Structure 1
């Protein structure tokens, strides 16, 4: 038993690291890109014609992996894989023992949470692209939210009598907005919001943000 454990430990240390964190989430990831031309030319499809049962469960594993953690991976033990597919353990093992089996091209990897799981190069590629798209979309939405919030702040600054020079100063408006995010939690309602703006502007003056010389455009 000791010898087997040591062999497994050595093997685990040599495994490639999976690049997607176990903490990454794609809560709205309800569909996946599918490159049908690539699939048409794949060895998996060609082999699946010879054993459609393996082909079906192999595709099921592709789809199931998108809901796992880390994204795009599978558990490495037979009990978990059988449960994932809704199969009795003995039936799963019989599928796995075939020369062409549902784990075709899956390989063990080490994840950032210490787990040893299975990864597939194409599934990993799809998941990394999905994460990039998710982060870019999130960043775009955050940028839009910041723009809208600062636009409303400029309107309030004008309403309470601040100079046009201040309202057109993007650096000063951004500084005041950041200060308000830290020191004025909750909704931006008058008169509390005006009082917070007054404190923010007072500190902005003391920090040299408001009233500083500005470069000509």
Structure 2
């Protein structure tokens, strides 16, 4: 006996907007898997192992979709993503504890997609971790750039008093960012040093 899909009309205005927006994460290859939460979930306790395996595959597949974290609301596409016969997929989807349990429709621009609260939560955590890594990496990059600037200026004879002036060094770094492209070499340090002296950034000549 074949299982026919349920057909219903959906008003997109009644659907929530996907809260993560048009997100596309680059180099997104790892997500946290809270096994204790999964082992105590209704899906694990009530669904067949076949359904559980497919449900887990859908969680992973959603991270490779666009927007990240969503699935197509289409049986043909879902069955192909899962490499399942379309009729078998529809049988599984019709179960009370089917593989799409917990997924809900959302608006993604002019499309209707499927989202899941747990996937959104995991993605939000991944985004926060990414932002923190970028912040730390940015701070390290700035620190290394300022160190190279100090080393370069020291090589040109700038005294320790001037090199210890954070405001001065950061001001010179900003000038270099604006006026020098590519790798900074001795001529770049000579230019910024001459400009700083010309503009009176050091105050009295004895300060440098």
Question: Cα–Cα, structure 1 residues 102 and 201, in superposed 2: closer, same or farther, change >3 Å?
Answer: same
**1:155 Cα deviation from its structure 2 partner:** 1.2
**1:143 Cα deviation from its structure 2 partner:** 0.6
The reply on whether 1:194 has 2:189 as its aligned counterpart is: yes
Write the mapping of 1:52-71 to structure 2, written as runs, cut at 5 A.
52-71=49-68
Match of 2:15 in 1: 15
Match of 1:30 in 2: 29
Match of 2:163 in 1: 167
Write the mapping of 1:78-93 to structure 2, written as runs, cut at 5 A.
78-93=75-90
Q: Number of residues paired by the alignment?
A: 198
Q: Could you list the runs of 5+ residues in structure 2 that have no partner in the other structure?
A: 1-6
CA deviation profile, 1:172-191 (whole Å, cap 9, x unmatched): 2112212212221111123x
**1:195 Cα deviation from its structure 2 partner:** 4.0
Question: Cα–Cα, structure 1 residues 13 and 41, in superposed 2: closer, same or farther, change >3 Å?
Answer: same
Question: Cα–Cα, structure 1 residues 54 and 153, in superposed 2: closer, same or farther, change >3 Å?
Answer: same
Q: Could you list the runs of 5+ residues in structure 1 that have no partner in the other structure?
A: 213-217
- Is the Cα contact below 8 Å between 1:166 and 1:172 reproduced in 2? yes
Q: Distance in 1 between matches of 2:158 and 2:71?
A: 59
CA deviation profile, 1:144-184 (whole Å, cap 9, x unmatched): 11101101101111211224333112122112212212221
CA deviation profile, 1:10-53 (whole Å, cap 9, x unmatched): x32232222323244140x33321212211211111122xx222
**1:139 Cα deviation from its structure 2 partner:** 0.9
Match of 2:4 in 1: none
Q: Which moved more, 1:67-76 or 1:134-143?
A: 67-76
- Is the Cα contact below 8 Å between 1:26 and 1:134 reproduced in 2? no
Match of 2:122 in 1: 126
The reply on whether 1:43 has 2:42 as its aligned counterpart is: yes
Q: Distance in 2 between matches of 1:153 and 1:94?
A: 66
The reply on whether 1:103 has 2:100 as its aligned counterpart is: yes
Write the mapping of 1:133-144 to structure 2, written as runs, cut at 5 A.
133-144=129-140
Q: Which moved more, 1:64-73 or 1:122-131?
A: 64-73
Q: Distance in 1 between matches of 2:88 and 2:171?
A: 63
3-state SS of the aligned residue for 1:116?
Answer: strand
Q: Which moved more, 1:91-100 or 1:78-87?
A: 91-100
- Is the Cα contact below 8 Å between 2:153 and 2:193 reproduced in 1? no
- Is the Cα contact below 8 Å between 1:179 and 1:200 reproduced in 2? no
Q: Which moved more, 1:57-66 or 1:78-87?
A: 78-87
Q: Distance in 2 between matches of 1:210 and 1:88?
A: 76
